[in-house]
Amino acid sequence: MKPYDAKESQECKICGFIISHNKQGWFTSHLKNEHGLTLESYLIAHFYEPEDLNCSYELCDGTVGLNRGKPKKYCSTSCSSKGEPLVCVLCGTKFDTSTRPHRSTKTCSDSCASKLRSMKAAAWHK
Ligand SMILES: [Zn+2]
Ligand SMILES: [Zn+2]
Ligand SMILES: [Zn+2]
């Protein structure tokens, strides 16, 4: 992905209008006057590929917004503060506190949790 750069030549992907740069905001004005779009909504709809706008947090399929024409890393502050997802000790599935509210949980689901409990119980009885 090549991030948007206001200093480079701008080509409107809607009508083919070309301008040498957007430093004074002329390209932004073109979008607004000709197409009724803000630069940001134009970039999201026409400049970036959908995968460029995926949230960087592994377990999130949200779409990020832009910051000065460049995609943000995360779709929300909750995604940026989550850190690495947790990994289920039983099946290896990644999960986080949005599905398992307790950070100390070691398993991805109730079924893994109960399997883990019965394994521990079995080991105890040996
Ligand atoms: Zn145009
Ligand atoms: Zn996200
Ligand atoms: Zn699991």
**Collapsing DSSP states into helix, strand and coil, what is residue 71?**
strand
Domain carrying residue 112: 86-124
User: How many domains would you assign to the chain?
Assistant: 2
In the block, which residue shows the tokens 């000790």? 89
Ligand 3 center from residue 110 Cα (angstroms):
8
Phi, psi of 9 (to 5 degrees): -65, 140
Residue 98 domain-assigned? yes
Do 109 and 90 reside in the same domain of the chain? yes
Do 90 and 75 reside in the same domain of the chain? no
Ligand 1 center from residue 9 Cα (angstroms):
14
Do 95 and 73 reside in the same domain of the chain? no
Q: Is the pLDDT of residue 102 over 80?
A: no
Ligand number nearest CA of 42 is 1
Under a CB-based contact definition with an 8 Å cutoff, are residues 106 and 88 in contact? yes
**Collapsing DSSP states into helix, strand and coil, what is residue 68?**
coil
Ligand 1 center from residue 43 Cα (angstroms):
12
pLDDT tens digits along 6-64: 999 999 999 999 999 999 999 999 999 999 999 999 999 999 999 999 999 999 999 99
Do 45 and 75 reside in the same domain of the chain? yes
How far is 123 from 89, CA to CA, in rounded Å?
A: 16
How far is 31 from 39, CA to CA, in rounded Å?
A: 7
Do 70 and 118 reside in the same domain of the chain? no
At 122 the pLDDT is 87
Ligand 1 center from residue 19 Cα (angstroms):
10
Ligand number nearest CA of 74 is 2
At 99 the pLDDT is 83
Ligand number nearest CA of 113 is 3
At 126 the pLDDT is 64
Residue 39 domain-assigned? yes
pLDDT tens digits along 79-92: 999 888 999 999 99
Q: Per-residue b/e over 33-67, b at no fewer than 16 CB within 10 Å? A: eebebebbebbbeebbeeebbebebeebeeebebe
Under a CB-based contact definition with an 8 Å cutoff, are residues 27 and 39 in contact? yes
